Amino acid sequence: MKPYAEMTKEELKKEVKELRAAYHHQQTLDQHYDMSRGKPSQAQLDLSMGMMDVLHSGVDLFCEDGTDCRNYGVLSGIREAKVLLGDMMENNPDNIIIYGNSSLNVMYDTVARAFTHGIMGNTPWCKLSRVKFLCPVPGYDRHFAITEYFGIEMIPIPMSPGGPDMDMVEKFVSEDEAVKGIWCVPKYANPTGYSYSDETVRRFARLKPAAHDFRIFWDNAYGVHHLYDDKQDYLIEILAACKRAGNPDMVYKFASTSKITFPGSGIAALATSPNNMEDILDQLKHQTISHDKVNQLRHVRFFGDIHGLVEHMKKHADIIRPKFEAVTETLQEELGELGIGTWTSPIGGYFLSFDSIPGCAKAIVDRALKAGLVMTPAGATWPYGKDPLDSNIRIAPTYPPLEDLRKAMKLFSLCVKLVSAEKLLAGME
Amino acid sequence: MKPYAEMTKEELKKEVKELRAAYHHQQTLDQHYDMSRGKPSQAQLDLSMGMMDVLHSGVDLFCEDGTDCRNYGVLSGIREAKVLLGDMMENNPDNIIIYGNSSLNVMYDTVARAFTHGIMGNTPWCKLSRVKFLCPVPGYDRHFAITEYFGIEMIPIPMSPGGPDMDMVEKFVSEDEAVKGIWCVPKYANPTGYSYSDETVRRFARLKPAAHDFRIFWDNAYGVHHLYDDKQDYLIEILAACKRAGNPDMVYKFASTSKITFPGSGIAALATSPNNMEDILDQLKHQTISHDKVNQLRHVRFFGDIHGLVEHMKKHADIIRPKFEAVTETLQEELGELGIGTWTSPIGGYFLSFDSIPGCAKAIVDRALKAGLVMTPAGATWPYGKDPLDSNIRIAPTYPPLEDLRKAMKLFSLCVKLVSAEKLLAGME
């Protein structure tokens, strides 16, 4: 089939008619597919059921240093968990705070603390008339929701396969003292799957911020989430890079085991400089006595060490990889020649990113919904939920079983074709 | 022995000499006792080891409604946990949000949210020039630490066995719009062990606050922590009382299982009105996706229902009761006739409160420390750590084994005697 843009009006009319019939048939099938969020599938969750067995009444719940994990105390987390997540995050365990069950919560609290008390002695953001964050787009809706909730002005920064537009980042960060942060998902980014290039990371590390309290919010959510054994992205470690560049305090780095063990029942961590750690712990001591050390111990006993965790991630990859491939194969089969969409082909992470022709994303997601396929709302990948081109759609392939996913992606492709053909035809009227 | 105040100078001199000798002997014994915090003992923690067995790879981790506790979602907590904690807190499960591992964290976040975003549409506290909290004294140091951290002015309110001085509370709350909250531990209070009388609770419910966003921070930490089966304090339920009084939105009520299962690995909850819940969830959805549902399920499966939890608390009581009795017995034996101290005799909770003659508390705690007994720092029970009379000392009897506790309380009594005798003698010079 030839590209839609090269079709005559008559050809397009015929195409729309056929697509509508196919779509209405799909609507009669009473299908229900959920591709709205980056949720692991049940098969992935089953991989971690062994974690429920490592702690029982026949074993002790003590750390190597004698700490009883069942009682109060150890604000920054148990040593064993710092070592495990330090190995995972490629950071010194001394630079790590282990938190509760959610890195999103850590990010929220980090913004909230800056808002109420300021960062390392700087003016609390609530006392400033304007605070701005840079937001690489497309990006993660829950990041944008936090900054929007705090009334922080968000500035979109275009993403390319090597990372955000660093010319823009450098300009904003060095010239505007109101720019206090940037949201980054540096590896297998949400939703593009892009990983920041070496040059991008180096340029981040060498930023010269106008604001003393500018921080990079480095959400390395997918650091160990490779799809392939032989094709993996590698990221220059940002804390070390910043330290080398003379900017040791410029980064908060976040990670968790949410998509390693159980989402909502994992452990989260923050890695940062000693100065930032001191600043953070001075607040954290007012907020809590300690996080869930039993769950920290459970994770450590389950994985043993980083090698155990890496082997575990290979099992996840074996489940997820065919799903990513099913998505790209289906899109290629269905849309490859039509010139009505582009998509990314990540080798890790949880998402792919799809771009329709301008003005179609909302309509595509809406059509999909009405035939039983729930996608992430169009616009969600942009600050304030507003995609100026109305073209970006996040694809989250992990949750549905593989056979469902193939059907869902065929349905999605049908919606793309129908909406695009209608749009092009309308342009001819 | 007669009261110190009735002794002659010579008698006191002799007493001081003997006490000093006894104290110096104690110092040579290389003793180490920790009574600084309200920590359960190892024997108490062992009571909950069965909770480590209820979830394993051979059982499912699904809720009754089919929710997979291993995956994202269910922001306000699983239904079963709401029912269990609803029964524990005497609140409708629909009025409960289940949180993570720490009610202190919930209280901090509640203040932080009021600070950054305001309560139910009212001005965020960070935009106000003055915010004040009422603080019944003696009280809980971690409460005071939160309000101090947010720059909130704290006003001490004297406690009596029936609760805070309600004349003062009513006056401040009704006359000063800057008064936004009051910290309450209404049952077996920290550190006095007092429980609020029916009249006190009713007067709380009938407050007429000048501020629309005044809230009672009702930390019912010891609601089920009785020492006796036949002697128990009962508290009028505050949410219901406020609703009856036409003040449905005036309370945030907090509780947790920290001192029921494992401190730091329990579950926390907040009970409040539908309006407050809506207000809170609108923030919470930005802060996290969900709390640890697996741990919620673990608690539900372990206890079964409220009866299981109550039976569990009896086992705690069997361990703690002799300790409370050892404290009061030792104090009575050692200090009963001397007129140099008074103390409370709670029938529940985690603490007793001791009052020395004015100007002695810091010196007593210091003496104890130097002989190997760590007490909560004197002053900690007052806002800003400043006890104006320097007389109140919190006694936390749960952590040391019973035999240690007897020795520790004898040592404590010795320090009370020595410091008091020295003080009285100095007054005669």
What's the pLDDT tens digit per position in B217-255?
A: 999 999 999 999 999 999 999 999 999 999 999 999 999
Q: How far is B216 from B203, CA to CA, in rounded Å?
A: 12
Reported residue count of chain A is 429
pLDDT at residue B363 tops 90: yes
Q: Is A128 on the interface with B (CB under 8 A)?
A: no
Is B112 in contact with A108 (Cβ distance < 8 A)? no
Q: B354 with B396: CB under 8 angstroms?
A: no
CB nearest A42 (choices: B56, B68, B102):
B68
CB nearest A72 (choices: B37, B100, B109):
B37
pLDDT at residue B429 tops 90: no
Helix runs in B73-223, H state only: 79-89, 103-117, 141-149, 166-175, 198-205
Amino acid letter, B137:
V
pLDDT at residue B37, rounded to an integer: 93
What average pLDDT score do residues B177-199 get?
98
Q: Which of residues 290-349 of B touch A (CB under 8 A)?
A: 290-295
Is A264 in contact with B290 (Cβ distance < 8 A)? yes
pLDDT at residue B135 tops 90: yes
CB nearest B40 (choices: A71, A258, A286):
A71
Number of helices (H), then strands (E), belonging to chain A: the values are 13, 13
pLDDT at residue A375, rounded to an integer: 98
Is A283 in contact with B149 (Cβ distance < 8 A)? yes
pLDDT at residue A338, rounded to an integer: 98
Q: Is A281 on the interface with B (CB under 8 A)?
A: no
The CA-atom distances, in angstroms, between A189 and each of A275, B287, B313 are 28, 21, 48
pLDDT at residue B26 tops 90: yes
Q: How far is A42 from B218, CA to CA, in rounded Å?
A: 40
pLDDT at residue B143, rounded to an integer: 98
Partners of A420 in the beta sheet? Answer: none
Is B290 in contact with A108 (Cβ distance < 8 A)? no
Query: Kindly report the CA angle at B103 between B98 and B105, in degrees rounded to 5?
Result: 105
Selected for mutation to probe chain A from B47, B104, B281, B287 (highest A CB count within 10 Å) is B287
Reported residue count of chain B is 429
Is A108 in contact with B68 (Cβ distance < 8 A)? no
Q: How confident is the model at residue B319 (pLDDT cuts 50, 70, 90)?
A: very high
Q: How confident is the model at residue A429 (pLDDT cuts 50, 70, 90)?
A: confident
Is B52 in contact with A68 (Cβ distance < 8 A)? no
Helix runs in A236-354, H state only: 238-244, 274-287, 293-303, 306-335
Is B73 in contact with A116 (Cβ distance < 8 A)? no
Phi–psi pair at B355, nearest 5 degrees: -120, 120
Q: Which residues contact A175 (CB under 8 A, 6 or more apart)?
A: A210
Q: Is A265 on the interface with B (CB under 8 A)?
A: yes
pLDDT at residue A88, rounded to an integer: 98
Query: Chain A: nearest CA to B394, how far in angstroms?
Result: 18
Three-state DSSP at A295 gives: helix
Q: How many CB pairs under 8 A join A and B?
A: 163
Q: What is the pLDDT of residues A205-224, one digit of tens each?
A: 999 999 999 999 999 999 99
Per-position b or e across B299-329, b if 16+ CB within 10 A of its CB: bbebbeebeebeebbeebbebbbbbbebbbe
pLDDT at residue A1, rounded to an integer: 83
pLDDT at residue A32, rounded to an integer: 97
pLDDT at residue B1 tops 90: no
CATH of A62-304, one of 3.40.640.10, 3.10.20.30, 3.40.50.800, 3.30.70.270: 3.40.640.10
Q: What is the pLDDT of residues B173-183, one digit of tens each?
A: 999 999 999 99
Going from N- to C-terminal start, the domains of chain A cover 4-45+310-428, 62-304
**CB contacts, 8 Å: B290 with chain A:** 102, 263-264
pLDDT at residue B406, rounded to an integer: 97
pLDDT at residue A304 tops 90: yes
Question: Per CATH, which fold does B70-304 belong to?
Answer: Aspartate Aminotransferase; domain 2 (3.40.640)
* Per-chain mean pLDDT for chain A: 98
**CB contacts, 8 Å: B105 with chain A:** 287-288
Question: Per CATH, which fold does B4-45+310-428 belong to?
Answer: Aspartate Aminotransferase, domain 1 (3.90.1150)
Partners of A343 in the beta sheet? Answer: A354
**CB contacts, 8 Å: B104 with chain A:** 287-289
Q: Are strands A251-256 and A33-35 parallel, antiparallel or unpaired?
A: unpaired
Bond into A346 cis (ω within 30): no
Q: B31 with B409: CB under 8 angstroms?
A: no
Q: What is the pLDDT of residues A410-425, one digit of tens each?
A: 999 999 999 999 999 9
Is A39 in contact with B71 (Cβ distance < 8 A)? yes
Query: Kindly report the CA angle at A223 between A356 and A95, in degrees rounded to 5?
Result: 135
Is A57 in contact with B56 (Cβ distance < 8 A)? no
Q: Is A34 on the interface with B (CB under 8 A)?
A: no
Number of helices (H), then strands (E), belonging to chain B: the values are 13, 13
Q: How confident is the model at residue B370 (pLDDT cuts 50, 70, 90)?
A: very high
Query: Chain A: nearest CA to B54, how far in angstroms?
Result: 9
Q: Are strands A96-98 and A132-137 parallel, antiparallel or unpaired?
A: unpaired
What average pLDDT score do residues A269-290 get?
98
pLDDT at residue A125 tops 90: yes
Q: What is the pLDDT of residues B86-100, one digit of tens each?
A: 999 999 999 999 999
Phi–psi pair at A198, nearest 5 degrees: -55, -40
Query: Chain A: nearest CA to B305, how far in angstroms?
Result: 21
pLDDT at residue A168, rounded to an integer: 98
Q: How far is A158 from A138, CA to CA, in rounded Å?
A: 7
**CB contacts, 8 Å: B112 with chain A:** 112, 116
Q: How far is B25 from B19, CA to CA, in rounded Å?
A: 10
Is B101 in contact with A100 (Cβ distance < 8 A)? yes
What average pLDDT score do residues A259-286 get?
98
Q: What is the pLDDT of residues B284-300, one digit of tens each?
A: 999 999 999 999 999 99
**CB contacts, 8 Å: A45 with chain B:** 68, 70-71
* Per-chain mean pLDDT for chain B: 98
Strands of the A215-219 sheet, one edge to the other: A96-98, A268-271, A251-256, A215-219, A179-184, A132-137, A153-160, A163-164
**CB contacts, 8 Å: A124 with chain B:** 126
CB nearest B286 (choices: A108, A258, A286):
A108
Q: How far is B374 from B366, CA to CA, in rounded Å?
A: 9
Q: How far is B422 from B81, CA to CA, in rounded Å?
A: 55
Is B72 in contact with A286 (Cβ distance < 8 A)? no
Q: Is B184 on the interface with A (CB under 8 A)?
A: no
Q: Is A150 on the interface with B (CB under 8 A)?
A: yes
Q: Is B282 on the interface with A (CB under 8 A)?
A: no
The CA-atom distances, in angstroms, between B57 and each of A48, A56, B149 are 9, 12, 44
pTM: 0.97
Q: Is the dihedral of CA B63, B69, B75, B80 positive or negative?
A: positive
